[in-house]
Amino acid sequence: MPLQVHPITSEADLAEFYHIHKSAFAGVGGIASLLTPNPITTDYIQTFIDKHIKSWREETDVTYLKVIDTDMGGKMIACAKWRINHEERTEEQIQSMLPIPGKEMEGRPGAQEFMWFLCRARKEYMGTKPFCFLNILATDPEHHRKGAGAMLIDWGVRKADSAQLPSFLESTQMGRPLYERMGFRPKEVVTWDLTKYGLEGTDTVTVMLREPLLHAV
């Protein structure tokens, strides 16, 4: 099971990125599930893929990664999106990157509230400062516990250590133990009452930061 980390280099990779992302979070529920329309439409899928193609092509601070299994002919089994900002940015620059609810979220209060939370947390903890941001991490459920997720996190935190930059992410309950093993520490925990949005129970999202290791190369 020799796994390898590679940059995503094609639109076909980003289409597979969507399918892994969808599979990773299907049936998990929680507040983040409200960001996805139900039922999922072909327009939604294409919009998702097109958004990431645009980011991959145009945003020089973004790296899309994949883990492939060479024993399976190079099959992609996990993926990630890292944003690495080495320099201070302007307020205008960060505003264009912050998640703001769009028209497609009208009439979906849970999705809107979660988006505003993400916007507030990213502005509060990262703001205009130089930062490494793990925006997305997803592993195909059929390939859990192979270490693929840890490999994608390790890629980013090594970059962060080399540049002496802090790292930021928002974690689900399921993901938090892995992030803690990789050196991230909780800074804020937000609990959501899902019954307000027609779901059951509660969910928590944890804002996590990792300080760079000193003198790392």
* pLDDT tens for each residue of 58-100: 999 999 999 999 999 999 999 999 999 999 999 998 987 889 8
Examine residue 82 and state whether it is found in any structural domain, yes or no: yes
- pTM of the predicted model as reported, rounded to 2 decimal places: 0.94
Examine residue 216 and state whether it is found in any structural domain, yes or no: no
Q: Output phi, psi for 159, to 5 deg.
A: -60, -40
Examine residue 28 and state whether it is found in any structural domain, yes or no: yes
Examine residue 217 and state whether it is found in any structural domain, yes or no: no
Examine residue 215 and state whether it is found in any structural domain, yes or no: no
Examine residue 179 and state whether it is found in any structural domain, yes or no: yes
**Cα end-to-end span (Å), the chain:** 28
- 85: domain CATH number is 3.40.630.30
Which domain, by its residues, includes 34? 3-210
| Whole-angstrom distance, CA of residue 58 vs CA of residue 53 | 8
pLDDT digits (tens, 9 = 90+) for 94-146: 987 889 888 888 889 999 999 999 999 999 999 999 999 999 999 999 999 99
CA-wise closest residue to 78 among 172, 168, 145 = 145
Examine residue 79 and state whether it is found in any structural domain, yes or no: yes
Total number of domains constituting the chain: 1
| Whole-angstrom distance, CA of residue 117 vs CA of residue 206 | 11
| Whole-angstrom distance, CA of residue 141 vs CA of residue 174 | 13
Strand, helix or coil for residue 35: helix
